[in-house]
Each structure stands twice: as C-alpha cells, then as structure tokens.
Amino acid sequence: MLNEGGVILLSSDRVSCFRAELESDRSGRSLMLPSEKPAGRALVCAGSEARGGLRSSEPPAPRPRPARPALRTLLSLPVLQRNAPLLSHAALSGARSHPDGARVWVQERGQLHPSTVSTCADGSLVFTSDYGQVLSLQGALSRERVQLMHSSSVNGVEDMSSLSELHEAAIMLNLHQRYQRDCIYTNIGSILAALNPYKRIAGLYDAAAVELYSRHRLGSCPPTSSPSPTSATAACGNGTTASAGESGAGKTESTKLLLQFLSVMSQNSAGTPPTERTTHVEKAIVQSSPIMEAFGNAKTVYNNNSSRFGKFILLHFSQSGNIQGGCVVDYLLEKNRVVRQNPGERNYHIFYALLAGADHDHRELYFLSEPESYHYLTQSGCVRDKSLDDKQLFDSVMEALTVMEFREEEIRDVFKLLSAVLQMGNIEFMTAGGAQITTKGVVSVVSELLGLDWFQLSEVLTQRSLILRGEEICSPLTVEQAVDSRDSVAMALYAQCFSWIIMRINQKIKGKDNFKSIGILDIFGFENFEVNRFEQFNINYANEKLQEYFNKHIFSLEQLEYNREGISWEAIDWMDNAECLDLIEKKLGMLALINEESRFPKGTDSTLLEKLHSRHATNPYYVKPRVADHQFGIRHYAGEVLYDVRGILEKNRDTFRDDILNMLKDSRQDFIYDLFERVGSRSSEETLKMGTARRKPTVSSQFRDSLHSLMAS
C-alpha cells in the first residue's frame, strides 16, 4: 500500500551552501527523504504562530523569502509544524549588543544568513556567514535585520522536528553542518533526509552497522538509511517507500542500500531456520540491481548513472520476517536513447561495458570493435567517461547474470542482439530511385547476428510493404524514412530484450506472497534539459503524480484526521499541484489532445501544437512561448519546463510496421523469435468490435494507466 511511505527530494543545485562540498563527490545532488506517514496526532499551525494550543503575543518574526517548491513542502510538514517549540521574544532580542563570536541570523536581500559576529574598531559590525560571505552593517540594527540564533541551530540536531527555528535557512544550516561532519542522514520525525547518498563513509553500511540498526527502533540510534524494524519488516503491515525528485538525486543508490539492508535483516530474522537464512531470493534481489542498471541506466548531462526507466520492486515476507519472493514492474524505458542522445550524454551502459569487457574470442564471435566505430555511440560526442569504469561494470554484470542463473546460451544471445543493435546504426543509405543501402557488409553482419535473411532485411529497410485487398504493394522509402526504419528496428530489439531481462529476473525472485509485503518505488527524477522532448514530458508527469500523492497523504489526509478528532488547528499553506495535473490528464487535457492527434492519419506535430495553444493558452499552468514556434511549456511544481513538440506524435504512436515485425518473427534464432512472438501486428489490432476500432494503445495512455494503477495499489 502506498499510503505507508513517500519521498521528497531537494536538489543541491538549488541549495548553494552545499554546492562546493558536492562538487568533490560523485554526482549526488539532493536531499532525499524516504518517509512514513507521521505517527500520532497534534495541533498543526503555520508560520511563527501557535504550537501546542497557544498563540504568541509577540509580533511575528520576519517572513523569509518564498521557499523553493520542495523546501516549501518540507517546511510545511506536519511533523515539523507540530514539534517546533516557540522561540521567545527575549531569545530573539536579548543580545542587543551582539558580542564577538555570537551566532546570529542576518537578513540580507530577503534571505537569512547564518553568521558569526565580529566587531570592527569603528563600531560597525562585521558578520561572516557560514558559507563564506562577509557582511558589514552600521548604525542601529533592528530585530528584523539581526536575530540571535537559537542553540538548536547553533549546535545542530539529529532530528529536525526539534529545531526551534522553522524556516528554510535553519533547515539548510542544520543539513550543512551535519554534512561537513560526514553525517549525511538526518531525521525529520519518522522521515529520513539523505544528503548525497553516493558519499562513501567508512563503517556506515558494514555488517556491524546493519546489526545495530536492525535491533533498535526509530530514533534510538543516529539517523541512517537503514530503516527501523517497525518500518522495514513485514510485521508492521504492507508498505511502500517511494523515491522521487530531480535526476541525479540518488534515488537508485538509496534503493540499492535499502535492498541490501532488507536482505541482511531477512537472513538474520528471528525464528528463521539457519538453513533458510541465505536464500537464493535474497541474493537474486541484490544481484538484480547491476543488471537493471547496466541495461536501464545511462549518463546524462545531470548524472552519470541516470535511470532511464522506472521500477517498482515488491518484496514478500514470511511471518518471521524472511524474504520469500518478489517481483519487479518496469515503467517507460527510454527507447529513443538507443538511437540518439543529447550532446554530452551516452547510450545505455551495457553497450560500453560489453565493448570494454569482452575477450578476444567473444569480440570475434559478436563482431565487436571499438566504441568510436559505432554511430549510435559517437553522435553525442561523449564516448568515454573517466568517472565510469566500463570494464568493472561488465565484470559485475557477468557475476550477477551467473547468480541469477542465466544460461550461457541466453547470455550469448543477448550479447549478439546488443552487437546487432550497434551495427544497425552503421547502416547507411543513398538516394537512387528511392533509398539504397551503401553499407551492404554491415547488413550482412546484422543478418548473421540476428538470424535474418539478408535480402529480406535489405527490403524492409528500403521499402514499405502493404497488403491491400489481398495483394501486396511495395513502395520505396526516402533516405529519411529508411533511417527511421533502421532506428525503429534497433529500438524494438533493445526494448524487447529489456522486457525479457525483467521477465527472467522475476522468474528468479518469484516466491510465496501469502503474508506481508514491502514495495520500493524507484522512478525517474524530474528533468529540465536544454531540449526537453516526449520522454521528459512523461517523466515530469510521473513526478507531478507522485507529488500529488505526497500532498494527499501528508497534508490532506492528515488534516482530515485532525477534523475527525475535533482538534483545533490552523491550515498549512502547502503547494497543491492538482490544477497542473488537471491540465495534463483531465478530459480535453494535454494527454487527451496528444492521443487524439495521434489517431488522425493527417495529424502532425504542428497541428498538435496549434490545438494545445488554442485549448490551453489561458490556463495559468500552461506556457505559450512568445518566440519559439515548436515549443509549449508547463509550470510544474518543481519549475517551468518548455517541451519541444517535434517527434511527439511519432513517439506516442510507437508504430512498428507489420513487414518489419514479420521479418523478425521469421528469424532462425529462437531467442529473436521468442522476443516478438507475442507482439501483435497493427492490422490484427485494428479489428472492429462493438462498432469501434480496437487499436494499439498509445505510449502516453499506457503510461497514464500504469501510473494510476500504481497509485491505487
């Protein structure tokens, strides 16, 4: 059940005080907050007003500048609101003289700066902020300009619900101080904030630490990613931890740490016979991570290990707390990355790993060469990355495949397919009465790797075959259309191979599911690139949906509970993104228009853009650019994003010609045939039933239905 957990992520590229420290680490850029629904009930009040049923008689403290979306959410968390004690007027104004070394908050240009006081000879005050800025103030200083810092902010706290000063600057200072001491985890009640989980700290995740945290309840030990038994074992009931936020936040890294901890807890669970304490399911669950990362992650401009798909991992536990089985559900693999990437990005890790790790015999068997010789790997201008060890990744994948009991024949078939995909990108065309292939040797290699007929492959790449009134009609393709056909084959091969790998993982970890379960949602982070396309539109839609979930379960349902209990409380000012979601998914919303235009044979990206502008230009969450003639925008909860309309309809249709599908089903290799055996043709799907045409659902409609199903599960 998703109502047992949630996640907030704050990106450090929006928090300047952490930027310098994070630049020296791996690409972790966030504060991640895997959470449970706060326990207990209490009075919730906003701002500097009453807590515990009392209202302050003093004037309110200066209002801080508007918080960033994620920080606004964090600041209004009920657990923070109800636990923060009042800072008295005397505490704020008692140190009028501001002695040397005093810790204060200095208001400058709408921001509060944590600073230390030093007095100059001329009587002016110089303040040195914790982030290196020097501020000099003269004359009488008002309480609104300089405030004495409370001891909880001076010393820092493990649990931010005990902070006496509730504003953005205090939260940032506490996290900054702890990060400098290698305390990357901080509690907010039952919520855990993880700042840069990529940072390796000795002893933090070793066996002794796991043993310690597995035997203590939440709050009795310093914060760490290891959940307490009350939240990490099936004894507390079904639950889910959801990870969401900007790309590069560390969601996947935290997911791996959580899986490792749950695996160890499972092996050490009380009442489990010693013979069951090291099960194949636990090993398989842990070892599935490097496989899914290799095939589903890639380097982007934000992150050198960005998840290009979403996954929901469900673990089933026995009554004694032992993992009995599990399953993985994947969402929206970014197929387009196989054939093109943005400048400075890379294709999926597995391609580079295979080229770096294959020995001489396998290089000959798979017709492999150097990465620089493949169009699908070189077009972005980034082939190698010093922060990534492709050879080491290959070794990890091979070890994981062995643990997961992939047969040698299966591994060979997968690597042949990967090589064929790379070779597909090197097929080139010229115009001579239609598209003609100029690299026939490459076609021969692809045919051998995939078990296809050379002539049939050449035909489907250069001409379209249609069945009209029982007669086959062939028409030549242009060079541009031939390139699209080539790319569609490469994307289909990789996508089907990825689905097959997830299926094999599920076969290995499948087990009993008759007691309790814990779900872990690791989904793509919010993205805003220089050019944002259909993939970013869906990814950010998913993040809007997760934000709505968080709002509902942390704010709306909590406040309804207060009303049922008859508690007097003051409404929290939190960011509601319901109207933004209405723009995207309601009737005649953006998704409906995209799907409608995808159904029209004459629908184009330009006609789609016209309809979007016409229908939604007056919506406050819709952006109609003044200059760009191929963009539209959305004001998301995390910021405004402009999307490029070009290619949206084609990607949404996800068309795959019947003649290409039939060719792949004719493969001499059982592996290729099995991948496409159950893929239906367009002609068979467009049959009439009850007076309406049954057509293949669009990519966006499938993704929307998956999201709704996930939120309801």
Q: H helices of 648-697, where?
A: 648-653, 658-665, 670-676, 682-685
Annotated binding-site positions: 245-252
In sequence order, what are the residues at sequence separation of 6 or more whose Cβ sits closer than 8 angstroms to the Cβ of residue 239?
1, 4, 5, 36, 231, 518, 519
Active site residue 530: no
Catalytic residue among 30, 225, 238, 252: 252
Active site residue 556: no
Amino acid present at 437: I
Active site residue 525: yes
Question: Which contacts (CB < 8 Å, 24+ apart) does range 485-488 have?
Answer: 485/460, 485/461, 485/657, 485/660, 486/424, 486/425, 486/427, 486/461, 487/339, 487/340, 487/424, 487/425, 488/655, 488/656, 488/657, 488/660
Instruction: Say how far apart CA 378 and CA 385 lie, in whole Å.
Output: 13
- Tell the residue number behind the tokens 């790319």, with chain if given: 487
Instruction: Say how far apart CA 431 and CA 409 lie, in whole Å.
Output: 40
Instruction: Say how far apart CA 528 and CA 623 lie, in whole Å.
Output: 15
Active site residue 306: yes
CA atoms within 13 A on the CB side of 483: 12
Catalytic residue among 240, 307, 458, 538: 307
Q: H helices of 404-478, where?
A: 408-424, 440-450, 454-462
3-state secondary structure of 345: coil
Instruction: Say how far apart CA 538 and CA 542 lie, in whole Å.
Output: 6
Q: How many helices (H) and strands (E) does the chain have?
A: 28, 24
In this structure, what are the phi and psi dihedrals at residue 556, rounded to the nearest 5 degrees?
A: -60, -55
Catalytic residue among 186, 303, 595, 667: 303
Annotated binding-site positions for ATP: 245-252
C-alpha pair distances (Å), 398 with each of 59, 566, 685 = 65, 59, 39
Catalytic residue among 248, 296, 325, 451: 248
Catalytic residue among 527, 544, 558, 597: 527
Active site residue 527: yes
Catalytic residue among 247, 269, 488, 543: 247
Active site residue 247: yes
Residue 207 CB: number of other CB atoms within 10 A? Answer: 9
Active site residue 713: no
Catalytic residue among 525, 532, 585, 598: 525
Q: Hey, which residues are catalytic here? A: 247-248, 252, 303, 306-307, 525, 527
